[in-house]
Amino acid sequence: MELQSLGKDGVHTTAICPYFIQSTGMFEDVSSKWVPTLNSEEVADRVVEAIRKNEKVAIVPGYLKLLLGIKWFVLNP
């Protein structure tokens, strides 16, 4: 929206919202009960796909979007 207001209509952005990614060193001590850590190559493939499709937001893995919707619905009746 900010870029659009500046007249930069040809610029597109994609926000990437990944879960914990393996092999980055950042999340080595993380263990998740519900969602396994992600493979960095699979995340990279999803990022490229989201950019090519000009998605505004890409949540990785995709099923977390559903869980976030349920969370929002439960916490905001």
Tell me the pLDDT tens digit for each residue of 51-71.
Answer: 999 998 898 887 777 877 777
Amino acid at 23: S
How far is Cα 50 from Cα 48, in angstroms, rounded to an integer?
5
Q: Is pTM beyond 0.75 here?
A: no
24-39: average pLDDT: 69
| Domain assignments of the chain as residue spans, ordered by start | 12-75
How far is Cα 15 from Cα 58, in angstroms, rounded to an integer?
6
- Look at residue 65 in the predicted model and tell me its pLDDT: 77
**pLDDT tier at 28, thresholds 50, 70, 90:** low
Contact 59, 19 (CB under 8 A): no
45 vs 25, residue with greater confidence: 45
